[in-house]
Amino acid sequence: MRRFQPADLSNRLRQPGPAPLLLDVREPWEYDICHIEGSRLVPMGQLPAVVDDLEKDVEIVVICHHGIRSRYACQYLASLGFADLINLEGGVEAWATQIDPAMPRY
């Protein structure tokens, strides 16, 4: 599992070619307040139910509020054979602080 700071993800999203899957593992009420554009909501508790729908060979950036749940989700996905996993350090809170100050915070 790699780790990205918000600036790393921002730079990665501006690169040509296919964008990584942005997998947001927060709860729906959190996602409704704020999320990174293009992210897919799959609450952490629902990961086991949808893991077969995810491609194991694509780059996946896992996102939560502060980077803790996403780290656990990365560990879980890695145990299932997902290889190209990236944890967003600091989560959407750090994204809002460092990249998108207009993003609502909670």
Could you identify the residue written with the tokens 């086991």? 48
Identify the active-site residue in 23, 25, 62, 64. 64
Q: For this structure, is 64 an active site residue?
A: yes
Output the 3-class SS for the chain.
CEEECHHHHHHHHHCCCCCCEEEECCCHHHHHHCCCCCCEECCHHHHHHHHHHCCCCCCEEEECCCCHHHHHHHHHHHHCCCCCEEEECCHHHHHHHHCCCCCCCC
Q: Which residues are catalytic?
A: 64
